[in-house]
Structure 1
């Protein structure tokens, strides 16, 4: 299944990023710690052009900490990339990123005296780029919303006297070859609702959770009854949360939305939907 997805503003953003590369010293790639593989845009490899790259796993507070460590090891050992996991709302984590960037620049980049370091911030929509930039700049510069495609233009942002950031719009690659990538991006809110139906997303999500996080129903909804099928899960959650239509039938649309929102907010626990290929 190939899903086509490349809005006009994303194609324009790609062209503008390529124009700016010559003056960039370090590329900071923001990915979602819950889907470290699916949230990596393969076009970034093209952008990098052998420039130093730091991979920042954002939203690590929502991800499985054990799997996050496995992904950090993967990026270091298999891809030979710098990487760090952060909660973009924690100032101490932002400080760690700043120090790591400075260390990378010292080791890998030769700057002229008094030259300002230029960092490019890249990532797919809704991975936390804007929240990261606002914390780094210590002021509200980038617009933050829990929906994709909020940032739609580039902007240069000075950070102190010796550092400048180029914030870029979140961009996706032209098509998804794998359905698994598509539903995971949808589950985390990286692509808009109309690409996949809520039923399709939740069916994949609940199947994955039941296999790898079997206590998710108990954690999120205090339901201890083992579900036998996806329809059974919808019924159980609908009854527990009072999602009823006139006549007593379950409001399935509302239940689907609740499951997605509870996953995205961390109510179901710290969950990662992908395992690092360490072998």
Structure 2
């Protein structure tokens, strides 16, 4: 079932962000390093392109992502005009401190005591925007938590040294175009649980991990995974972890939550769900499907005369 999630407050948040962006010099777009493009809101790209604002793409949670894949994503983004990309983890206190200097390099015309550098943090829910805000200000000014859509309103604060920083609510977009993006976002906990069926999300995640990280699955759950599909992996986890219902059957729901939690927490290891190559393949397939001519309806059979 395709996943869509666009809470009502996000319409207002988008309008407010567009107004603030008109008075901002730099967009700091926070992405999930495990799913950089799936977690890239196309509305944010449209807003900053309209205002012609440079962008610092922060691939947060890089400590959870595959380092080789993250390096490929940094190269991918750093080839784009007006974009600089950096990978970091807001959990590591020293890493966010690199951001102000990177922003100044993107907006040299604001390097003047009379012209403060105005930055805005944007991104989808639960990618770490508020955690980044707190790390940059070195104090807790924004509410954080491992749930999407915690921040509901903007706040602008003085960062010192001629810099201001605006934190914004997480923004989704009205329609997720690619079904796999919805599942990757849900697996990475960027979508509210009321909008998903977690067993389906876990089955999708299991199938993807079997393709790319079978060795990590085998090590974590102490079982061979060759020949399994997503559904049978969940069943195997249920059996290995003793997830049983009262009647003795396997508790698939509990096993699904175990897999999702292990992925989200990094207990499985450092994992990336998409690469620049898999993204390109997805977009090519989607483009080909759109451009393919619609199948012509089958011609109705010729009526048979009773005289024949």
Distance in structure 1 (CA, Å) of the matches to 2:183 and 2:16: 28
Match of 1:99 in 2: 101
Match of 1:84 in 2: 86
Question: How far apart are 1:228 and its partner, in Å?
Answer: 2.4
Distance in structure 2 (CA, Å) of the matches to 1:229 and 1:35: 22
In the alignment, structure 1 residue 235 sits paired with structure 2 residue 235: yes
* Count of residues paired in the alignment: 277
Question: How far apart are 1:233 and its partner, in Å?
Answer: 1.5
Give TM-score, length-normalised by structure 2: 0.85
For 1:66-103, what per-residue CA distance to the aligned partner results, in whole angstroms no more than 9, with x for missing partners? 00000000011245510000011112211222221232
Question: How far apart are 1:200 and its partner, in Å?
Answer: 1.5
Match of 1:72 in 2: 74
Question: How far apart are 1:204 and its partner, in Å?
Answer: 1.1
Greater Cα offset, 190-199 or 52-61: 190-199
Match of 1:190 in 2: 190
Distance in structure 1 (CA, Å) of the matches to 2:3 and 2:258: 25
Match of 2:262 in 1: 262
**Residues 2 and 177 of structure 1 are in contact (CA less than 8 Å); yes or no, is this contact kept in structure 2?**
no
**Residues 118 and 165 of structure 2 are in contact (CA less than 8 Å); yes or no, is this contact kept in structure 1?**
yes
Residues 208, 181 of structure 1: alpha-carbon distance in 2 compared, 3 angstrom cutoff: same
Distance in structure 2 (CA, Å) of the matches to 1:180 and 1:231: 17
Match of 1:124 in 2: 124
- Higher-RCO chain (CA-CA 8 Å, sequence separation at least 6): 1
Question: How far apart are 1:111 and its partner, in Å?
Answer: 5.2
Give TM-score, length-normalised by structure 1: 0.93
Match of 2:149 in 1: 149
**Residue 84 of structure 1: SS of its match in structure 2?**
strand
Q: CA RMSD in A?
A: 1.9
Distance in structure 1 (CA, Å) of the matches to 2:31 and 2:76: 14
Match of 2:162 in 1: 162
Match of 1:56 in 2: 58
**Residue 118 of structure 1: SS of its match in structure 2?**
strand
State which structure, 1 or 2, has the greater radius of gyration over its C-alpha atoms: 2
Greater Cα offset, 15-24 or 168-177: 15-24
